[in-house]
Structure 1
Amino acid sequence: MITKILVANRGEIARRVFRTCREMGIATVAVYSDPDADAPFVLEADEAVPLGGSTPGETYLRGEAVLDAARLVGADAVHPGYGFLSENADFARQCHKHGITFIGPTPEAIEAMGSKLTAREIMQAAGVPVLPGVDLTDVPDDEVRAVADEVGWPVLVKASFGGGGRGMRVVRDPDGLLEAIASARREAGAAFGNDTVFLEHYVDEPRHVEIQIFGDQAGTIVHLNERECSIQRRHQKIIEESPSPVVDQPLRDRMGEAAVEAGRTLGYVGAGTVEFLLAPNGDFYFLEVNTRLQVEHPVTELVSGLDLVRLQIEVAAGAPLPPEAHAPQLHGHAVEARLYAEDPANDFLPAAGLIRRFEVPDVPGVRVDAGVVSGDRVSTNYDPMLAKVIAHGATRAEAISRLVRALRRARVDGITTNRSLLVGILEHEDFAAGRIDTHFLDRVEPRDLIEVEGADVEQAALLSTALADQADERASAKVLAHVTSGFRTARSQLNVRGYRRGDREVQVGYVLGRGARFEVDGVPVEAVVHSCTPDAVDLVVDGVRRRIGVVRYGEDRYVSWADGTIELRVVPRFPESADHLDPGSLVAPMPGTVVRVNVAAGDRVTAGETVVVVEAMKMEHAITASMDATVASVPVAPGAAVDTGTVLIVLTEDEEADDD
C-alpha cells in the first residue's frame, strides 16, 4: 500500500497528481526550485523540499536530489509526472534500489522506448508499421544527402531521445539539411542530455492520433481508445480531443490492436501512449511510445470516466486493472486546449513576466488544470504552458462550444498568451468540420485567427477604455474632483486619447453631456453611455448594450466583456525620447540565454542569415540578419543571459548593396 507520494515535477501536473492523492487519502510531497518557492503546487503539498537552483539541470533533473528528498520525508513512492525524470530509466532503477515505488513502467520498458531508434526497431519486429528512417550517428556530412535521398523527401530530422517537438526539424530540400541537423542536435543535447538524431521520411498532411494503453503487474494490457492531437505548432500539440473525428470503429480496433501489441512486446506496466501518424489514405505508422502519463490525458478521462492517475497509483501498488478499464466506453466528446505564455502573432515567441490576473470562469462541462494563479511569475527556465482547459459535451460541437465560451471569458492579465489563437482555431470552419492535420497552422495564418476575436466589439471596447480612463483621472483628481468626467465647455472640441492594439494605433474622441459625440479614428460612432466608472462602462454601440470592464496596470489596459477580451496600451500624449539604438542593431525578442554566436566583428552576412541563437523555455530561436551587411560589433557571447531588447549584434549596411 502506498501512503506518501513525492511528485518529482512542478506546475499543473504536480497539482493534478496531488488532487487524486487527496481523494485517495495519500500524503503528498513537493520538490521545488528557487523560482518555484511560492508556486501553487508547492503550497498545496502536505510537505515540500527545496532543491536549490533555478534551471532544470540544477533542480528537477537531479535524480539523486529528488531521491534524497524522498528519503528525508519518508515517501514510499515517486510520481514523475511528464517531462524531467519521467522517462529516465536510471532514475526508475534508483527508486527501486532504494525501496521507493516508481509510479510508471519498468526501467527496461523506459530504456527500450527512450531511444526512438531502438523503439522503431522493436516495433518493426513486432509487426507494427513504421516509416523509413536512418540513424545519423557516424554518418559524415558529405553522405547525409544520399541518406536523405534513400529515406525519401521531405525528411524529418528527429532527436532520438527527444519529445515535445524539441530537436525536430522538417527539411524539404538539401540546402538546409546540414544546418537543420546541427540545430536539432544542439537543441536535443540541451533539453535531453543526448544529441543523437536520425532522419525519417516526412508524411505531408498527416493526422497525429495516439492510443492510450494501460498495463498491470499481472500482464494484462488494454487500450483506452484514441486521442486526436493534430493541431500543433512547432511539432508540439496545442489542441487535443477524444474521440478523433475521423477514426471509425474498424480503424479504432486496428490501431488499438497495434498499440496493445506494442505494450505486450514491452511487458508494459502503468500508463503509456502509443503515437501514430495517420496518413490521408488511412494507413497509420508508429511514431513512438511515451512511457508516462500524457499532457492530454484529461480528454481520455472525461470520455471514459476513468481517473488515470488513480489507475497509475493502484497498478503501481500491485492492484489489477478494474473491469471498467477492460471495456472502456466513449461517453460524448472532450476537447482540450493548452494555454501558453507565448505570442502567436510573433512566431510563437515565449513570454515571461508577472501574471497579474488569472481567471477561467466556472462553465458547465469545463475542467481547468492550471499550474498558475494570479500573482505568479512565469520564468524562462521552464515550459511556457500555464494551464489546460478541457471541455466535455454530448457531441463534438457541444464540447467545442463550451471550450470556446470558457476561453473567451478567461482573463489572463499581464502576460501575452495564445488564448485568442485557440479561440480562432476552435471557431474555424475546417476545425468544426474535422478537416485538420498537423499542417493546419501552416495553411492558416495565426494572425488571421487572432484578429477574429473582438472585431465586432472593438469600437465599444476602445470607447469604453477611453471613458474609463477619463473617469479614473477624475476620481483621483486633486482639484475640481466634482466635475463630471468627459465634459467640455467647447462642444466642438473632442477629448482625444490614443491606444495601441497590436501594431495599430487608434485615436478615440469623445465628449459627454447634451449633444454627446464619439469617434474612433475620426469615424463617428453612435453610442449611448448609461454609466461610467474607472472599472466598467455600460453603453450601447451599434444597437447592442454591453457592460465592458477595464483593468489597468501602468500603461496596459485589459478590456473585457461577456465573451471576450482585448489588450490595449496607452499611447502617451507627449512621448518620451526613445532609448538610442545604433542603426543596424539586432535585439533579443525575449528573455533567454545566448547559446551560439555565428559571426564576429568584420564578418560579411546576407539578409536572412542566422547570426545568433537564443534559447528560452527549452526552445531555440534564431536571430537573422535584416540585410546584407558587415558585422560592426558583437556585444554578447555564448552563455550570456539577455532580456528583451538587449542588443545582440550591430550591423553596418554594405555599401555594395547601396550601389546595386
Structure 2
Amino acid sequence: MKKILIANRGEIALRIVRACKDAGYISVAIASEADRQALHARSADEAHILKGTAPRETYLNQKAILAVAARVGADAVHPGYGLLSENETFAAAVQAAGLTWIGPSPEAIAQLGDKVAARAIARRAGAPLLPSWEGDDLTTEKARVFVEEHGLPVIVKAQNGGGGRGMRIVRQHADLEGQIAAARREAELAFGRPECFIERYVEHARHVETQCLADAYGRVIVVSTRDCTLQRRHQKLVEEAPAPFLNPEQTARLTEASVAVLSAVKYQGAATCEFLLTGEGDIFFLEVNTRIQVEHPVTEEVTGVDLIREMFRIAEGGRLPENFPAVRGHAIEFRINAEDPWSDFRPTPGHIDRMHLPAGPGVRTDFGYAGGDTVPPYYDSMIGKVIVAGRDRPEALARARRALGELQIAGLKTIAPLHRAILISPEFSALHAEGFGIHTRWIDAELDRLAETAKSFVAEAAAPEVRLTDVVSFEQETSPSPATEPPPYRVGIKAPLSGVIMELCVKEGDAISLGDTVAIMEAMKMEQPVVAEVAGVVATINVAQGSFIEMDADIMGIN
C-alpha cells in the first residue's frame, strides 16, 4: 500500500490521516460540500469533494467514492467507523476494483455484521446468549408471542449496523407496535436496512467488550477489555480500559468467547466483541463490530499499540507478534458531542466560536473540529474525544477532572458539563467493585440529579468566559425573548433543531392536544420528535416531508 483513501469524515478520518503520516502512506480525504473546509480535509495530503451534503449523496455513495479512488490512483481504502465501515457490498466493491480493503473480508462482515447471523455463530462457538426472536421479519404479532414466553422488558434491535441506532426498549405491551415501527424506521435511516429482531432486556447491566486483532494466519489477540456502560439512547458516552472491577474468571470468559467467535469466521483485522455483564456476574454475548471503534484510544493508551497501524499491517499480510504488550495503567475516554443533555440530548450543530483543548500529563485529544469551524447538522454529533490515562484508575479520574475543567468550547452547547458531573458522582468514581453502581441506563435514571450537580459545578469551577456560556445553556429557557410581531395564527410550532422532516404526523384541520407528537425530525443521525406545546387546530403546515429546515423555523401554525 502506498496511497490510502479514507472513506469517512470528522475525528476518525483525521485519526487515520495521522496514522498514514506516521506510517509513510499518502492520505486521500473525501469531503461533502458541507465539509469542504473540514479539519480532516485540510489535514490530508489530498482532499476531494463529493457533490451534495446528505450522507446518501456523499459518504454513503459507494460509486462516487470508488470513482475518486480510481481517479487519484489510491491503492487501499480505510473505512473508519460508521457509514460504510460494516457494509460488505462496499468492501467487496473495493476489492473488485483491485484495491486493498483495510478491514475484514466481505464474508466476515456479512456473517458478523448481521446480528442474527452473528448470534448463530456465537451459539455454535459456545458463547452465552440471551433469549431472542431472530426470524426473517419481526412483526408485532411475533413480538407478542415472544413476550408471552419471556416477559417484559424486551429490546428491539436493528439487525444490521450499530452505534446504538435502531434500538428501542419496550416495557409495556401497548408500546410494542410503536417501538418496533420506530426501530425499523431508524434502522432504515441509519443503515439502509429496516430489519430488526427482539431480545430479552436485562436491567442494571454493564456493557463490557474486548478489543481484538486477528491476522491472516489464524492468530486472534484480545488486546484489552473495555467498559462502555455509560450511555444515552444506547449510545456510548464514556469508555474505560481495562474494564474496571472484572475478576480473572470473567476476563478469561470474555477472552475465550471473543477468540472463538472470530476464529469461527477466519476473521482478519480489528474487531470488538460486545457483552452484557449482569449484577450477578453472568456474561452474555451481544454482537461483533467488524471495524475500529470510537473508543479504541483507551486501549491504545494502556498498551502503547497503534491500532490503526496494526490494521495497516494486517491488510498488507503482516503477522501479529507472539508477545503482545500487556495492559498497564488505566485510561478513560469522554465523547464530546454537540448536544444539549438537559433537553433530551437535542443535537446542537452550529459555529464553534472558540475552542481550547486540555493538555498536560496523561491527556490526549482527538477532535475533528477546531475553533472557527462549523459543525453541520447532517452527520454525527460527536466533535471530538478527551482521553486521559494514569498509572491506575484513581489517577486517571483525577486527570480527567482537571482535563475537562480546562476544556473550553464557545458558540455551541456540548455534553462536557455532564461529564464533569459524572466525574464527581460516587457511583462512577468508586474505588471498589461494591461501590461501582453504574449500569447502561444510569445516565437516563440520574439525569436530573446530574443536571443539578453540573449547574453548581460549572458556576463554581469554570473559567469566567466559559461559565457565562454554560450558565446561559442552563438558563436560556427562562430568559425573556425579544419582542416580535405575532404570527397570523395563535401559536406556531417551531423546529427544535436544524434537520430533516422525516414524518408529518398531523394534517391541516387536525385537532391536537398538549404533548402530541406532530412531526419527527432527524438531525445528526438521531430522530427527534416535535411535540406540541399548545392545544388547538392545525391551521397551516409550512414544510414538506423530507425537506430540510433550520432551527426555530415554523413547521406549522396552530389556531
SS of 1:638's partner is coil
**1:593-620 Cα deviation digits (max 9, x unpaired):** 1111121223234443322111111111
Q: Distance in 1 between matches of 2:493 and 2:347?
A: 18
**1:606-652 Cα deviation digits (max 9, x unpaired):** 44332211111111111233455443333322112222112223445
Q: Distance in 2 between matches of 1:611 and 1:440?
A: 29
Q: Distance in 1 between matches of 2:480 and 2:490?
A: 24
Structure 1 residues 398 and 630: alpha-carbon distance in aligned structure 2, compared to 1, 3 A threshold: same
Structure 1 residues 570 and 159: alpha-carbon distance in aligned structure 2, compared to 1, 3 A threshold: closer
- Which structure is higher in RCO with an 8 Å CA cutoff and minimum separation 6? 2
Contact 1:297 1:308 in 2 (8 A): yes
Q: Provide the identity percentage.
A: 43
2:545 is matched with 638
Within-5 A mapping of 1:138-537: 138-325=137-324, 328-433=325-430, 434-445=436-447, 447-453=448-454, 455=456, 458=459
Amino acid across the alignment from 1:417: T
Q: Distance in 1 between matches of 2:429 and 2:137?
A: 46
Amino acid across the alignment from 1:436: I
Contact 1:12 1:41 in 2 (8 A): yes
1:596 is matched with 503
1:586 is matched with 493
Contact 2:125 2:257 in 1 (8 A): no
Deviation at 1:151, TM superposition (A): 4.0
Contact 2:339 2:381 in 1 (8 A): yes
Contact 2:363 2:388 in 1 (8 A): yes
Deviation at 1:586, TM superposition (A): 2.2
Q: Distance in 2 between matches of 1:350 and 1:570?
A: 16
Q: Distance in 1 between matches of 2:110 and 2:457?
A: 54
Q: Distance in 2 between matches of 1:26 and 1:162?
A: 29
Structure 1 residues 559 and 627: alpha-carbon distance in aligned structure 2, compared to 1, 3 A threshold: closer
Q: Distance in 2 between matches of 1:194 and 1:455?
A: 44
Q: Distance in 2 between matches of 1:618 and 1:123?
A: 29
* Matching of residue 69 in structure 1 with residue 68 in structure 2: yes
Amino acid across the alignment from 1:371: G
Instruction: Answer with 127-136 or 421-430: which moved more.
Output: 127-136
Within-5 A mapping of 1:538-553: 549-550=464-465
Q: Distance in 2 between matches of 1:392 and 1:288?
A: 27
Q: Distance in 1 between matches of 2:464 and 2:491?
A: 41
Q: Distance in 2 between matches of 1:277 and 1:365?
A: 29
Structure 1 residues 457 and 617: alpha-carbon distance in aligned structure 2, compared to 1, 3 A threshold: closer
Q: Distance in 2 between matches of 1:248 and 1:459?
A: 39
The structure with the largest alpha-carbon Rg is: 1
Structure 1 residues 627 and 149: alpha-carbon distance in aligned structure 2, compared to 1, 3 A threshold: farther
SS of 2:148's partner is helix
Amino acid across the alignment from 2:438: I
Amino acid across the alignment from 2:437: R
Instruction: Answer with 101-110 or 148-157: which moved more.
Output: 148-157
Deviation at 1:143, TM superposition (A): 4.5
Deviation at 1:21, TM superposition (A): 1.4
Amino acid across the alignment from 1:452: T
Amino acid across the alignment from 1:405: R
Q: Distance in 1 between matches of 2:480 and 2:41?
A: 45
Amino acid across the alignment from 1:438: T
Contact 1:136 1:197 in 2 (8 A): no
Say which structure is richer in helix. Answer: 2
Q: Distance in 2 between matches of 1:365 and 1:140?
A: 50
Deviation at 1:90, TM superposition (A): 1.3
Amino acid across the alignment from 2:484: A
Q: Distance in 2 between matches of 1:116 and 1:643?
A: 36
Q: Distance in 1 between matches of 2:118 and 2:131?
A: 13
Deviation at 1:269, TM superposition (A): 0.4
Structure 1 residues 144 and 411: alpha-carbon distance in aligned structure 2, compared to 1, 3 A threshold: same
Contact 2:538 2:558 in 1 (8 A): yes
Q: Distance in 2 between matches of 1:302 and 1:156?
A: 33
Q: Distance in 1 between matches of 2:302 and 2:518?
A: 48
Q: Scaled by the length of structure 1, what TM-score is found? A: 0.80
Structure 1 residues 160 and 549: alpha-carbon distance in aligned structure 2, compared to 1, 3 A threshold: same
Q: Distance in 1 between matches of 2:288 and 2:405?
A: 35
Deviation at 1:459, TM superposition (A): 8.2
1:28 is matched with 27
SS of 1:323's partner is coil
Deviation at 1:584, TM superposition (A): 4.0
SS of 1:150's partner is helix
1:500 is matched with none
Amino acid across the alignment from 1:319: G
1:485 is matched with none
Within-5 A mapping of 1:107-118: 107-118=106-117
Amino acid across the alignment from 1:580: P
Structure 1 residues 566 and 115: alpha-carbon distance in aligned structure 2, compared to 1, 3 A threshold: same
Contact 1:32 1:42 in 2 (8 A): yes
1:80 is matched with 79
1:649 is matched with 556
**1:293-312 Cα deviation digits (max 9, x unpaired):** 00000001111111111110
Q: Distance in 2 between matches of 1:140 and 1:448?
A: 38
1:617 equivalent among 511, 524, 529? 524
Contact 1:409 1:565 in 2 (8 A): no
Q: Distance in 2 between matches of 1:647 and 1:432?
A: 44
Instruction: Answer with 642-651 or 613-622: which moved more.
Output: 642-651
Q: Distance in 2 between matches of 1:332 and 1:121?
A: 36
Q: Distance in 2 between matches of 1:425 and 1:90?
A: 40
Contact 1:343 1:351 in 2 (8 A): yes
Contact 2:138 2:196 in 1 (8 A): no
Q: Distance in 1 between matches of 2:77 and 2:149?
A: 44
Q: Which runs of 4+ in 1 moved over 6 A?
A: 568-571
Deviation at 1:362, TM superposition (A): 1.4
Deviation at 1:41, TM superposition (A): 0.7
Deviation at 1:395, TM superposition (A): 1.3
Deviation at 1:124, TM superposition (A): 1.1
Gaps of 5+ in 2: 431-435
Amino acid across the alignment from 1:365: G
Amino acid across the alignment from 2:556: I
Contact 2:108 2:266 in 1 (8 A): yes
**1:88-141 Cα deviation digits (max 9, x unpaired):** 111111121122110001111001112111111121122111111113644554
Contact 2:459 2:467 in 1 (8 A): no
2:433 is matched with none
RMSD in angstroms over aligned alpha carbons? Answer: 2.3
Gaps of 5+ in 1: 462-547, 551-557, 653-660
2:14 is matched with 15
Contact 2:137 2:195 in 1 (8 A): no
